[in-house]
Amino acid sequence: MKKVFLLISFLLMTGVFLQAQTVDVTFQVDMSVPIATGAFVPGTNQTELRGSFDGWGAGLVLSDGDNDSVYTVVLTGQAQSTDIFYKFFHTGNFMGD
């Protein structure tokens, strides 16, 4: 009986550890320099996150809810211990002209 209990305990513990765990990942980018140089105009331009999580598609739009020039987006439900490759993209004037 003791062996059966140990076997069942081991199987339950292993099953708990092998479940896919997901996490939310927060991305932030400080846009204060592009704003100061005129390369990015808040309210007119937008900042996006593009990456491996969506096949480098259209991306997710970041927002600056507290107007501190730090734009944020949360990527939900990502598999734990997975590499995410990404780049920030904005629709402003890249040369600051």
Residue 27 falls inside a structural domain:
yes
pLDDT at 40 (0 to 100): 93
For the cut 50, the answer to whether the pLDDT of residue 97 exceeds it is no
More confident residue, 35 or 2: 35
- In this structure, what CATH number is given to the domain that contains residue 58? 2.60.40.10
Tell me the pLDDT tens digit for each residue of 11-42: 666 655 556 699 999 999 999 999 999 999 99
Residue 9 falls inside a structural domain:
no
Residue 30 falls inside a structural domain:
yes
Residues 6+ apart with CB under 8 A from 54: 60
Residue 15 falls inside a structural domain:
no
Residue 12 falls inside a structural domain:
no
pLDDT at 82 (0 to 100): 87
Residue 3 falls inside a structural domain:
no
Q: Name the residue range of residue 27's domain.
A: 21-90
User: Per the structure block, which two tokens stand in for 77?
Assistant: 């439900």
The total of structural domains in the chain comes to: 1
State the pTM of this model. 0.73
pLDDT at 93 (0 to 100): 74
Residues 6+ apart with CB under 8 A from 38: 93, 96, 97
pLDDT at 7 (0 to 100): 60
